[in-house]
Amino acid sequence: MSLETLPEPEIDPERSATELIRLEQVTKRFGDHTVLDRLDFSVDAGKHVTLIGPSGSGKTTILRLLMTLAKPDEGTITVAGQRLYPAPEKQVREVRKKIGMVFQQFNLFPNMSVLRNITEAPVTVLGLDRDEAEARARELLDLVGLADKCDARPTRLSGGQQQRVAIARALAMRPQVLLLDEVTSALDPELVAGVLDLLRDIARSTDITMLCVTHEMNFARDISDQVLMFDSGRVIESGTPEKIFSDPEKDRTREFLGAVL
């Protein structure tokens, strides 16, 4: 069957009203190393879900699949009731617009001003006119406390400031889902709190769905509706932060938390 003629997934209407992201039986291999092993999980609209688990367990890989930076070998990924994988290229581009990501290493465009970093994708991908994109960018820079840095090059900013620009850049696309991959782990310790406070604000004041990978357990406890403990390519346990951090069911979760808390 060609991708163009693939049927849309059959989605239980009751489920699709609440589910924004769904991975079903997703397998991802690098060579003969199976990183994700028939992974199933979903994230409800408006919820904040945190992925925890040991290094190398595949957390970043999940976010990269959602960003379409990598493709699964098997399984399906659905976002807001529409297939992201497998799907025809045009549909992938449409669905992909619903998703924003902030990376550990900021990944700003070094040769563009801060303002241009934020306006580039809204102009080229969403087709906003430049004035409108700039107005939106200035509002966002105000939100992240960097209104005075519009014309600066990213290399002139501190790591914390660069990460706040990266957050503004992701929000400029008005995503339904924000993916956050260890966004404070490359920062000097004194800059971490500012970025986490900004994210707490965003979590509180918007209805953006968040899927977050973090080693900041206090932050995870504060913002998460649900925590997924991830190991060997599978979700081995999930629950509220209170449950997972205070009274986990699985020995593996207890052992992991013992090492990181």
Ligand X SMILES: Nc1ncnc2c1ncn2[C@@H]1O[C@H](COP(=O)(O)OP(=O)(O)OP(=O)(O)O)[C@@H](O)[C@H]1O
From 130, 124, 163, select the one nearest 146 (Cα to Cα).
163
Q: List the single partner that 57 binds among Mg ion, ligand X, none, CB under 5 to 8 Å by kind.
A: ligand X
Q: How far is the CB of 31 from ligand X (least distance, A)?
A: 7
- Asked if 214 is part of the footprint of ligand X (rule: CB under 6 A), the reply reads no
- Asked if 102 is part of the footprint of ligand X (rule: CB under 6 A), the reply reads no
Contacts (Cβ under 8 Å, ≥6 apart) of 111 = 153
- Asked if 30 is part of the footprint of ligand X (rule: CB under 6 A), the reply reads yes
How far is residue 247 CA from its own chain's centroid?
26
Q: List the single partner that 61 binds among ligand X, Mg ion, none, CB under 5 to 8 Å by kind.
A: ligand X
From 179, 8, 18, select the one nearest 86 (Cα to Cα).
8
Outline where DSSP puts E strands in the chain.
19-30, 33-44, 48-52, 74-79, 82-85, 99-102, 177-181, 209-213, 226-231, 234-239
From 151, 159, 185, select the one nearest 260 (Cα to Cα).
185
- Asked if 57 is part of the footprint of ligand X (rule: CB under 6 A), the reply reads yes
Q: List the single partner that 20 binds among ligand X, Mg ion, none, CB under 5 to 8 Å by kind.
A: none
Task: Candidates 47, 48, 59, 136: give the one binding ligand X (CB under 6 A).
Answer: 59
Q: List the single partner that 205 binds among ligand X, Mg ion, none, CB under 5 to 8 Å by kind.
A: none
CA-based R_g, the chain, Å: 19
The site map against Mg ion for 59-78 (x = CB under 5 A) is -x------------------
- Asked if 259 is part of the footprint of ligand X (rule: CB under 6 A), the reply reads no
Write out the residues near ligand X by the rule CB under 6 A.
30, 35, 55-61
